[in-house]
Every structure is written in structure tokens, then in C-alpha cells.
Amino acid sequence: MKKVPVLEIFGPTIQGEGMVIGQKTMFIRTGGCDYRCSWCDSAFTWDGSQQAELLNVDEIIEKLETIGGAAFNHVTISGGNPALHSGLGEVVKMLQEKGIKTAVETQGTIWQHWMKDIDEVTISPKPPSSGMDTNWEQLDEYIRQLNDREDKEVSLKIVIFDDKDLEYAVDVHQRYPHIAMFLQTGNEHLETADNSWLLSHLLNRYEELVEKVIASERLNEVKVLPQLHTLLWGNKQGV
Amino acid sequence: MKKVPVLEIFGPTIQGEGMVIGQKTMFIRTGGCDYRCSWCDSAFTWDGSQQAELLNVDEIIEKLETIGGAAFNHVTISGGNPALHSGLGEVVKMLQEKGIKTAVETQGTIWQHWMKDIDEVTISPKPPSSGMDTNWEQLDEYIRQLNDREDKEVSLKIVIFDDKDLEYAVDVHQRYPHIAMFLQTGNEHLETADNSWLLSHLLNRYEELVEKVIASERLNEVKVLPQLHTLLWGNKQGV
């Protein structure tokens, strides 16, 4: 198999975002991304500041079990963009054989066959504030391939920093009205260590987003969520 | 039809708890409960402190539309225990005809045929700290009736105040391993108006609960969540 560049494996902890919010899970965070979002909260996965370790499937499973013991039954693969790595297919397959559920988050730019095996796929197209462009035809095809699976789920998640991002979210929601849609408060203060200030700031931002969604007749079906791990632990990595 | 005692209709706002957390929704809060939980956060529905209004189906729908306008497509029925009221069947039917999704929360003690029509049913058995007893055979039957529906969901939610409550949650989870299970931090400070203190206190309580769930090999599948509306708005009613 191809080895996978892994930046961190940690947990069990709580998934802080999106469709699986609150779920007890282990995290595998892979290195590398085809995007460079201006506000990326995991820029260490692609900016060269941290060194990934190239691991094969057995090494990844062994690390999960050493760190998590018997206290997990759910694994989230995050990045960076984990869809860069074909080698994850064997990891997903082995986790499934062990009866462990899997989730992944990706922007939906690169297809991998193993995406079809993931129980909970979160596709997170990036809004204008990120500085990235969306290839809509590519996204159409990505969602089409994931939406017709049985007993597996797919959702969209958009991080919102400003009103243009919210307009973008409306566009995405209208393009894919039957896909569960999550809006999430963006965190533009990635460097602060003042957790008390950050908490207050992010809850204010969350309330503002809630109020805008409440007022919009075009966003009646969506879910609006904060990042629970940031409310609890601020910008700390590996929790 | 039988009229329904309604204490408040409000929204659109965000569902702060459980399986539909973050969902934009209207709330119908009915009066009356067969339980008297020691820590009930809506005791005004049954302690005589607030007067319910007896409304028929047309009046309930009209109020929803007057208050919510066109800015909602989801209605949550809460209480008290809304399962006391057979008259809600017509409300649920009319909402369905309008293409509006419905959710309900009940402790699972009283059956109503309209439960089967609700898109998202949250059953919240009450743990020891509530002072209430669980009738397990009744709960078995309740869950059995709701679990075999197509395209509709059922979940369990347990509010946790102490370690005995967490043991109770383990029992519930082991009895119904295939039902999605949500654990929620209890709020024992229902009277405080010091929202800043309450926020800090509830996040500490939430972190403690997260840590206990993380450590338990018997709670690998659960989701652990705070009450988002209490983090945002404290103990304020009608939000």
C-alpha cells in the first residue's frame, strides 16, 4: 500500500463540529492540502511548520489502539484534505472489519474510491472569505456519488465569516436542497491564548449567525452550530 | 378535536439540544406533565405558575404562521410532556400537509398514535437525580413502536447531573444499543441571572461529562452535548 502522511492521531475525544457533533471519536489527521484557506485552523498540515510521519495501515491501526485502548468505536479522518491519500482505503477497510464507524471531512475536490465506504462524509466547500474557488461541476459529481449510498450519510458544512459567505451558503443549499446542511461560526482568532475572551467572542459570533439564519426564509432547513472543542479548549491542538 | 393547552409558541430559533441540535425550528410548548423532575427546567408547564391557553388546531397553526412567517420549515413540540395531548395529532397532520417537519420530546411514558408521524422523536428517560422511576417494560414498547418507522428517526437523551445518572445512562444504552444516544449536561442553576457565571459553570460541567464519557469503554457510541440555548441566553424563557 501507499503510506499515509499522518500529523497526529489523538483521542478519544468529542467531535466538535457538524453532522457528528458531540460524538465520541478518535482522530487521524493527515498532512497535505490542495487548498490554502486564508483562515485555515489546521494550517500546520500544509504550511511546513510540522512534520508528518509516513505510516502504513498496520502502524496507523496500532497507534489508534495504543492511544485509544478499548474506549472508542468511531474514527474521524481529518486534514488537511485526507482525500489526497489513496492509502487510507486500507485503513477504512480495516476499521470496518473491526466494527468501527468512520467519518471524514473533505472539501470535495479530489475523489477517492474509499469515500464510498465512510459512514459519515462531511463535504465542506469553502466560501469566498477563504480565497478559494469552488468547481461546481466537480462538487455536483462528488455529492452524486455519495448520496445514493445505503445506511451511510453525507452532509454539507460551510464555515461562515461574513455576509458573502452566508450568500454562498444559500447558493450551496439551493443547489443541493436534499443534503443536510450545517453552518458553522468561523474562528478568525487562531493565535490567541486568551480562552475566556475567545469563548465570549465566538459565542457572540455564533449568536449573530443564528440571528441571520433565523431571519432568512432561504435557510429554513439548516442547522447552525459552534465548534464545541474551541468553546471548551480554545485553539489547543490535539484535543 | 380536543383542544391543546399551550404555554408558549415561539421562534424561529435554534434547537439547543439532542439529535436535532442547531436546527432552525419553531417551538410549541404544551402544558402539563405526568412527571415532577426535581431539576425540571420548564416547571412552569406543570407547577401552576403560568396559565396555559386552550387552543384548537387552526389557532395553533395560525399562531405559528403569525409568529414565524415564512421563515420556518420545522416545528418542535415540547412540554411538559406533549404526549398527554391527543389533540396534537391534528396539528402534526396539518404541519405534514404543509411540508413542515416535526420533532417532539417526551419521557416515553404515555403513548399517542401521532408519535408515529413525527419525523424526529427524542425519548428522554429520567435518571435517578430527577426523583422519577423508569418503567422499563413501558419504555421497551415505546421504543419498539418508534424504531421500525421508515425515513423517521428516534433517539434517546439522558440529562446527567451525577455519577448515578451516568450509570443509569449506561444501563439505558446497553438495553437499547441500536438507538442513537445523547448525553446532556444538567443545569442545576435555573434561577441565576448571571449568564457569564452560568456559562463558565456549564462549560466546566460539560467538560467533566466529556472526560467521564471518554474514559468509559461502555459509552463508546454516544454523543455528548451541552444545551446551546443556555450557553447563548442563560435561563431566559421563550428563546
Chain B: residue whose CA lies nearest to A71: B217
What angle do the packed helices B195-215 and A195-215 form, to 10 degrees? 100
- A76-105 pLDDT, tens digit each: 999 999 999 999 999 999 999 999 999 999
Q: What is the pTM of this model?
A: 0.95
Low-confidence ranges of chain B (pLDDT < 70): 1
For B16, the closest chain A residue by CA position comes to A225
A223-225 and B4-14 strand pairing: unpaired
Evaluate whether residue A92 is within a structural domain: yes
Residue-wise pLDDT tens digits, A109-152: 999 999 999 999 999 999 999 999 999 999 999 999 999 898 89
Q: Has residue B238 been placed in a domain?
A: no
- Give how far the C-alpha of residue A73 lies from the chain's centroid of Cα atoms, to the nearest Å: 18
- Gap between the Cα atoms of A136 and A126, Å rounded: 12
Residues sharing a CB contact under 8 Å with residue B150, sequence separation 6 or more, in sequence order: none
Which residues in chain A touch residue B22, judged by CB atoms under 8 angstroms apart? Answer: 21, 182, 223-225
How many angstroms away from the CA of A206 is the closest CA of chain B?
A: 8
CA distance B24 to chain A (A): 6
CB-CB neighbors (< 8 A) of A71 in chain B: 214-217, 220
Q: Which residues in chain B are closer than 8 Å to A214, comparing Cβ atoms?
A: 11-14, 24, 71
Average pLDDT rounded to a whole number, residues A194-205: 92
- Set of chain B residues whose Cβ sits within 8 Å of the Cβ of A210: 13-14, 232
Average pLDDT over residues A31-35: 97
**A150: which chain B residues are within 8 Å (Cβ-Cβ)?**
none
Query: Where are the alpha helices (H) located in chain A, listed in sequence order?
Result: 57-68, 88-97, 136-147, 163-175, 195-215, 228-233
Cα Rg of chain A (Å, integer) = 17
Domain that holds residue B74: 4-233
A64: in domain: yes
Instruction: Report the domain count for chain A.
Output: 1
Which are the contacts of A28, defined by CB distance < 8 A and separation ≥ 6? A6, A9, A60, A64, A75, A76, A77, A78, A82, A91
The pLDDT value given to residue A212 = 98
Angle at A35 (CA atoms; ends A33, A40), nearest 5 degrees: 90
Walk across the sheet containing A53-55 and list its strands: A53-55, A4-14, A24-30, A74-78, A101-106, A120-123, A153-160, A180-185, A223-225
CA–CA dist B128, B212 (Å, integer): 18
Exposure string for A151-176, b = 16+ CB within 10 A, e = fewer: ebbbbbbbbbbeeebbebbebbbeeb
Question: Which of A75, A125, A130, A129 shows the shortest CA–CA distance to A104?
Answer: A75
- Chain A nearest CA to B204, separation (Å): 8
Taking CA atoms, B200 is separated from A217, A231, B18, B232, in Å, by 34, 10, 21, 12
Q: What is the per-residue pLDDT across A50-79, written as a single tens digit (0 to 9) for each?
A: 999 999 999 999 999 999 999 999 999 999
For residue A183 the three cell numbers come to: 453552518
* A166 at interface of B, judged by CB pairs closer than 8 A: no
User: Are B102 and B61 a contacting pair, CB within 8 Å?
Assistant: no
Instruction: Tell me: is residue B177 an annotated ligand-binding position.
Output: no
Whether B45 maps to a domain, the answer reads yes
Structural domain contains residue A198: yes
Does A126 count as an annotated binding residue? yes
The tens digit of pLDDT for each residue in B40-88 reads 999 999 999 999 999 999 999 999 999 999 999 999 999 999 999 999 9
Q: CA-nearest residue of chain A to B182?
A: A22
Task: Round to whole Å and give the CA distance between A162 and A202.
Answer: 14
Distance from CA of B231 to the nearest CA of A (A): 8
Q: Does B239 map to a domain? A: no
CB A183 within 8 A of CB A213: yes
The answer to whether residues A158 and A195 touch, using CB atoms and an 8 Å cutoff, is no
What per-residue confidence (pLDDT) applies to A46? 95
> All 3 cell numbers of residue A201?
467572542
Q: Is B80 annotated as a binding residue?
A: yes
- The CA distance from A230 to the nearest CA of chain B, in Å, is 11
Q: What was the pLDDT predicted at A238? A: 83
State whether residue B222 sits within 8 Å of chain A by CB.
Answer: yes
Residue A58 lies in a domain: yes
CATH code, domain carrying A8: 3.20.20.70
Contact B24 A70 (CB under 8 A): no
B77 lies in some domain = yes
Structure confidence at residue B237 (pLDDT) = 85
